[in-house]
A and B are shown apart, each in its own frame.
Chain A
């Protein structure tokens, strides 16, 4: 248990994009486990036991504790205006399968898996609806040119924070299947390792590796095609 908590602390530093509150929680878990006092993880288990015994209102504590974590995961995968809806589904699903939580992994990790799979189901359902993929305007074409022309880090970051960047990314992801979209987001955009992504998705490592490679090739092909079309339009 102590080793796991020390390891938890090490994982934090390998993920620079992890929020400060998540970092604090991970470190608290690690330190508390190390000195042998009651940890947040065991606290979660106690709450889960109580909920399973019928004290449903105790589930509110888990919601309060992890809602931001779930919202953050959902926000990386689905449009901002659908985050609340997806996070809602995540907590209802987690409650429905709470009795299958073994406690071998931290509750946060177990919940992350449910969150990722709920996002996957969100895109699978959307694909069936056959929603049209929005087209791009001339600003997006200009954005790509500005990024390529950026010489300093500040200029580059400024371009990356622009709305056009997010829209271009959503346009490209919209062309991918739910599976490829999810794997690309987890592995290439969020920076999870192939093994971590496989754990979250419940897929094999080989499947994730193959899909991640394929999805990246598709993204690159889309960007190249986009650039070619934009250049053609400019020349006319």
Chain B
């Protein structure tokens, strides 16, 4: 038993490449074109390529950065306001606690 050496392997690869390139391309025929067009008309009647839809898609991507910045600002403001509310609530509660201290002293 003799394993293939590098030159032999290259020779087999070359033959396989030649075999690949000499493949006969089948012709598709008129019926085939008719079927493709029929499906495309069906597609167009249903959900064909719409310029409006494409325009909306592009608009969405172009405004994505602005939308992301706005979202960050909104998140930041919510977070700040929540913190401020917590401080105010704590202050209010502490006032209330102070207020509940008996006046008898």
Contact residues of B with A, CB < 8 Å? 1-4, 8-9, 11-28, 32-33, 35-37, 39-41, 43-44, 48-51, 54
Contacts and interface: CB of A to CB of B under 8 A. Distances in A.
A128 interface: no
Nearest to B51: A99
B33 A64 contact: yes
A207 interface: no
Contacts of B25: 68, 71-72, 75, 83
A143 B53 CA distance: 56
Contacts of B8: 148
A147 B15 contact: yes
Interface stretch (A107-115, A197-205, A223-231): A223-231
A223 B9 contact: yes
Mostly, the A contact residues are helix
Interface of A: 17, 52, 56-57, 59-60, 63-64, 67-68, 71-72, 75-76, 80, 83-84, 87-88, 91-92, 95-100, 144, 147-148, 156-157, 159-162, 165-166, 168-169, 172, 185, 188-190, 219-220, 223-224, 227-228, 231-232, 235
Contacts of B48: 56, 95-96
Given A144-B12, A147-B12, A223-B9, A92 B39 contact: yes
A162 to B, nearest CB: 8
Contacts of B33: 60, 63-64, 67
